[in-house]
Chains A and B, each alone.
Chain A
Amino acid sequence: MPSSTTTVDSNRQRLSDYPQWLQVWQRAREGEYETVILSASDDMLSVVLMHRQTGAVYSLDWSRSFQQKPLGPPPSALGILETLSAEHELARQWPRWGWRSGRRPPVRGKGLFIYPLGPVRADVAESLLYQLTVMGDDIVHVQLENGFKRRHIRELAVSRTVSSAYSLVSVFTTTSNVHHSLAMAQAVEDAWEVDIGPGAAVTRTLVAELERAASHLGDLAAIAVSTGLTVAQMEFLHLKETILRINDQLFGHRYSRHTVIPGGINTELWPRQADLVQIRQIVTNVLTEVATIARDLENTTSFLDRLHGAGTVPAQAVAAIRPVGPVGRAAGLAMDVRQVHPYADYPHHNLHIPVLSSGDSYARFRIRVAELTVSLKLIHEILRNWDRDAIRVQSDKLTRFDESRPRRRTGIGLVEAPRGLLAYQIHFSPDTGRIAQLHVATPSQRNWAVYPVTMANGNILQDFPIVDASFSLSVAGWDG
């Protein structure tokens, strides 16, 4: 079984020259490496790279030797745009580096109007300000202003113990809280060199796939209602509620919060009376329903007319920003951490990950339906042999990490969250075992960078809700 604990220390390269560091990074990126996290401390810039085929994780560092002059061009100046939001964040925190996080100038011209939308908008939505520049109906430019919801989770986690930081991480984004917990757990286990055992690995896969199913069902409901099809929306919402009730039955919380913990699985919340045979039957029913609703939507011309060709991600943006998750896979980027860098029980499952190349809203709809089907089948398969009593032995107390010291100073955790690649890099202080730095790269953070250019790619205002729903990104995951 390819272990989820990847030795990063052995693949670490340290450079002393900043332009050289940028060049090596750019070459690695043009080769076979996917950029995962850009992070910084007082005197070091570090980027974590993952090989697209083998999943090997590699860290590229540049140590700053306290010279006071500005660094030079930021990574985005060389066309490395995956870490654009990380770069903005670092520019905000370390202004003395001289990176500019300047806003792009507004577009001006006769007949152009700026349509501000937010931070209070629509029915039930997160706070984000859209500045849509329109010429008649055409959207010609989009500028997003985030940061309203900043809770400073990364900063708050510093100098906390693992168990105390865990409570923060589990409320990073609730609709993908299992994956946030899982990525943090992997990073901690990587640093402590802990093996969780097969029982916990299987359970983690089950919890993660249930979360993916619920998330995708919610996204599909949003896509359906964005075209005015409330019947399909209601059906998808009912199925989402069904999955959330399964979560509650199996793990004692509708979003399975606090189920995945560093070191294994938390069994304290488990009600014991869940009927697995009945739950498997429910999962089968959900699978059939999804197939029927998706087929009906595929036969509804008013639905297809709105989705086809709406919100096509420009090819340059795909190459420069490399969107992750369903957005990336709908635009031809076949990257799924479950395949490339398998964790939990995924090495034992042969997943069929769908990839499409058109990159429009319809492709994102198709990808979500296909992934949902894969997830539900996997849940069904796992529930067949899942032995809850076996896991009880594997579970362990979270506080054990507070009392011991890590074997390595840095741990990395990579998972495929419902919205895409989610990465945690945690530096521990070797004396106390507390967190020295927490770096998180969320999929929403990266995909929001693709959003403005996609929206301004020949769409009209009426396409806005459809493209927005087909991205279904989280603002909480961006602001942090």
Chain B
Amino acid sequence: MYYWHWVKNVVHRPKTTGYPTALDDTVQHMSRSGAIVVDAPLEQPFFKRSVALRQVDGGSCNGCESELSLLSSPDYDLSRYGFSFVPSPKHADVLVVTGVITRALAPVIRTVYDQMTAPKRVVAVGACAIDGWVFQGAPDVLGRLDDIVPVTVRIHGCPPTPGDLLRGLLAAVDGADPASLAPRGVRA
């Protein structure tokens, strides 16, 4: 049924961007230069590749979810770096949290974090998870993921673009934003 896709994909260049490890003007144009904030230099980089992600929604507007689900699209293809989303926290290495942190979901996030086996890292996705964004001071909104679990990497943006999400996830593994390093030119 889908043979025409195969033929088409042989003729055309792949849709997948090389960003952030290679240059791509279109994706780079959408991303923000200072989007990735790594808290402290990571000690031993425990992770090499094959990193399992577990996403938890802490009260988002579903924008971050929309962008995270686009990471598996052919345009970004997070599996080329060895990332994958897993259903169980017990299989996960990196906890990805989106949204303002509501009072009802704070214990849920804490439980998920406790269920993960060490070494583990936490990525705060989007302005809401970092500081509550426009919901600062709202009832039932805690607003800071830092108060619940130790955060390794913060990805700014509302919502962060998939390119920035990839940068942030790689930063959680390597300890440095790949866009700040010289492009390795793996693929033009």
Q: A-side interface residues toward B, CB under 8 Å?
A: 119-127, 147-152, 155-156, 167-168, 171-175, 177, 218, 231-232, 234-235, 237-238, 240-241, 244-245, 248, 254-255, 257, 292, 296, 299-300, 474-476, 479
Given known contacts A126-B60, A127-B105, A171 and B85 CB-to-CB distance under 8 angstroms: no
18 contacts between A and B (CB under 8 A): A120-B112, A123-B87, A124-B68, A127-B108, A149-B99, A150-B59, A150-B104, A152-B139, A167-B134, A172-B61, A174-B62, A174-B66, A231-B2, A237-B75, A241-B70, A254-B159, A257-B158, A475-B62
Note all chain A residues with C-beta closer than 8 A to B108.
119-120, 127, 148
CB < 8 Å: which of A254, A300, A476 contacts B62? A476
| CA gap between A127 and B102 in the complex, in Å | 11
Is the beta-carbon distance between A240 and B60 smaller than 8 angstroms?
A: no
Is the beta-carbon distance between A173 and B62 smaller than 8 angstroms?
A: yes
CB < 8 Å: which of A126, A151, A232, A235 contacts B138? A151
- Let me know if B15 is at the binding interface, CB within 8 A: yes
| CA gap between A152 and B136 in the complex, in Å | 12
| CA gap between A155 and B140 in the complex, in Å | 12
B142-183: CB near A (< 8 Å → 1, else 0) gives 000000000000000011011000000000000000000000
Note all chain A residues with C-beta closer than 8 A to B75.
237-238, 241
B61-76: CB near A (< 8 Å → 1, else 0) gives 1110111111011111
CB < 8 Å: which of A123, A148, A173, A175 contacts B85? A123
Given known contacts A254-B30, A296-B2, A174 and B70 CB-to-CB distance under 8 angstroms: no
| CA gap between A300 and B104 in the complex, in Å | 43
User: Which residues 10-55 in B have Cβ within 8 Å of A in the complex?
Assistant: 15, 26, 29-30, 54-55
| CA gap between A248 and B30 in the complex, in Å | 7
Note all chain A residues with C-beta closer than 8 A to B100.
151
Note all chain B residues with C-beta closer than 8 A to A475.
57, 62
| CA gap between A476 and B85 in the complex, in Å | 22
Q: Closest approach, in angstroms, between the C-beta of A112 and any C-beta of chain B?
A: 25
Is the beta-carbon distance between A120 and B138 smaller than 8 angstroms?
A: no
Given A127-B56, A231-B5, list of 7 further CB < 8 A pairs? A123-B55, A123-B87, A125-B55, A126-B57, A151-B135, A174-B62, A238-B73
- Let me know if B188 is at the binding interface, CB within 8 A: no
Select from chain A the residue with minimum beta-carbon distance to B104: A148
Is the beta-carbon distance between A126 and B62 smaller than 8 angstroms?
A: yes
Note all chain B residues with C-beta closer than 8 A to A168.
134-135
Is the beta-carbon distance between A255 and B70 smaller than 8 angstroms?
A: no
Is the beta-carbon distance between B61 and A238 smaller than 8 angstroms?
A: no
Given known contacts A124-B69, A148-B59, A150-B102, A245 and B74 CB-to-CB distance under 8 angstroms: no
Select from chain B the residue with minimum beta-carbon distance to A236: B73
Given known contacts A119-B108, A148-B104, A125 and B1 CB-to-CB distance under 8 angstroms: no
Note all chain A residues with C-beta closer than 8 A to B59.
127, 148-151, 479
Note all chain B residues with C-beta closer than 8 A to A218.
66, 69
| CA gap between A474 and B75 in the complex, in Å | 24
Q: Closest approach, in angstroms, between the C-beta of A48 and any C-beta of chain B?
A: 25
Note all chain B residues with C-beta closer than 8 A to A255.
63, 66, 159
| CA gap between A466 and B66 in the complex, in Å | 19
Q: Closest approach, in angstroms, between the C-beta of A266 and any C-beta of chain B?
A: 16
| CA gap between A340 and B74 in the complex, in Å | 39
Select from chain B the residue with minimum beta-carbon distance to A444: B62
Is the beta-carbon distance between B65 and A171 smaller than 8 angstroms?
A: no
Is the beta-carbon distance between A119 and B105 smaller than 8 angstroms?
A: yes
| CA gap between A125 and B57 in the complex, in Å | 7
| CA gap between A171 and B159 in the complex, in Å | 10
User: Which residues 67-109 in B have Cβ within 8 Å of A in the complex?
Assistant: 67-70, 72-76, 85, 87, 89, 99-100, 102, 104-105, 108
Given known contacts A126-B60, A171-B61, A218-B69, A149 and B133 CB-to-CB distance under 8 angstroms: no
Given known contacts A126-B57, A174-B63, A240 and B105 CB-to-CB distance under 8 angstroms: no
Is the beta-carbon distance between B57 and A127 smaller than 8 angstroms?
A: yes
| CA gap between A149 and B128 in the complex, in Å | 12
Select from chain B the residue with minimum beta-carbon distance to A255: B63
| CA gap between A163 and B15 in the complex, in Å | 40
